[in-house]
Amino acid sequence: MQTSSTRYRDEYDTALVAQWDDLLGWSDRRAAEGSFLVDVLSARRVRSVLDTATGTGFHAVLLSQAGFAVTAIDGAAEMVEQARRNVATLAAGAVPCALGDWLDHGSLPAGPFDAVICMGNSIAHLFSPADLERALSNFRRLLGDGGTLVLDHRNYDALRAGRISAQDRTYCCTGLKASVDLSVVERDVVDITYQTAGHPPATIRTRAWATDDVGAAIRASGFGAPILYGPRGVGFDPHGSEFVIHVATAAKR
């Protein structure tokens, strides 16, 4: 199946973005994640952070409120507009929000940043190994030596093997009356259908990246071997964790 890595621009339309904050359930999502992201960045003495998949601004707001200097980008115009509205009312300081294409280094903000984050299974919008490595290489260019990459994605290995449920509302999408349904279309393709009360269902298509393949791409793009965590920062269980979080350090050039 041929699938474009820019497909998400059409998928995240006005109808889906209108329900995105209700789907996330900001208060419960914050409780579900705990302090893991803030703790990891603080332990590495991070000050400046680029949120490369800000969506409607959840992590940008969280990190701003925790005292980090945050810049936010997203590839979907509707998401950027909603993120700007959210950070204007919720962030602790100025958080620039702009369109940015991971595959086009010229569209990305000028670095260097102390950390780059790519959360919410966003990396699954890239469908080819070449695009994955290109995006990760561009993330590396935005970091100084020793900078930090934090990237997460669903544990597609366990999902395809039938070891975990095809529905997760306990970590990523925690909104009241929100539903998330995952359907394996092909071995490497999973459709995710979202719906919240009062809204029609919306489906996005994702690349079901194997955890080892993402780790190999991270190493090939100028980072050390990533440390793996499960949701909430617990140890990653390849058989049961619904998400996997990679934390990697930018190697010296």
Q: Tell if the pTM clears 0.75, that is, is over it.
A: yes
**Cα distance between residue 102 and residue 53, in whole Å:** 9
For 67-111, write each residue's pLDDT tens digit. Answer: 999 999 999 999 999 999 999 999 998 999 999 999 999 999 998
How do residues 195-216 score in pLDDT, each as one tens digit?
898 899 999 999 999 999 999 9
Low-confidence ranges of the chain (pLDDT < 70): 2, 165-170
Give the pair of three-digit tokens for residue 175.
């909104």
Residue-level pLDDT at 167: 53
Q: How far is CA 218 from CA 36, 80, 91, 127, 134, in A?
A: 21, 26, 30, 15, 10
